[in-house]
Amino acid sequence: MNILFPQADPVAWDTVIVADRALPCLREYPKAKPGRKLDTKSAAGSSGGRIVDKGYDLAKVTVTVLLWTADHFRTWGELLDVIQPRAGRRRDAVSIYHPALESVGVSAVVVESISSIEHSGTAGIFKAGFEAIQYKPAPRRAGGDTQTPTAPPVASVVETQRDGSLGPGAAIPSAPTSPRARRSGT
């Protein structure tokens, strides 16, 4: 794995890109901690045991951004329209890029909670952020298992207007079909 050296490209390390919007993240890089699902088994009265590997858990992701210009606040507001949709609208996964997240395989997330803007303690600098869960749908089983639902697309370029309407050129995703409709072709 080739991990980008911070001094080789400091701009990449000082910026987090979420849904195609670049925000500064100086000093507080996004954090992700993917774990493994390990099941330990041991017989009663014996020492040791065996470990059954059940794959990887989805990573919890924490992103904190710093805001100090009017442009930063405008970009944060635009991002909120995408990651915190109005009631009744579907919440899709969004693309995310930062070298620290790339190094652990995180490229898309579903936002779980958003923090309010607060003063950072340094004159004129504010911080905001969100907690998310890695978006990585399980692979479909060989043989066309119809029990595995299809994953929604990652929303990265869909523009949302301030009034909550979709921007120019945006399409509303079609409703998923049921497994029975897929089998019958209707």
What's the mean pLDDT in 60-73?
A: 92
What's the mean pLDDT in 29-48?
A: 81
Q: Is the pLDDT of residue 148 over 60?
A: no
Mean pLDDT for the chain?
A: 76
Q: Provide the 3-class DSSP secondary structure of residue 68.
A: coil
| 20 domain-assigned | yes
pLDDT in tens, 98-126: 999 998 899 999 999 999 999 988 888 99
The CATH number that applies at residue 77 is 2.40.30
pLDDT the model gives residue 71: 93
160 forms beta bridges with 166
| 106 domain-assigned | yes
- Cα 130 from chain centroid? 10
Q: Is the pLDDT of residue 178 over 50?
A: no
The predicted model scores a pTM of 0.65
| 76 domain-assigned | yes
Number of domains in the chain: 1
- Residues spanned by the domain of 107: 10-39+51-138+153-167
Q: Which segments of the chain does DSSP mark as H helices, in order?
A: 10-13, 70-83, 99-102, 179-184
| 87 domain-assigned | yes
- The pair of structure tokens assigned to 75 is 């970009």
- The pair of structure tokens assigned to 123 is 């004159």
126 forms beta bridges with 67, 119
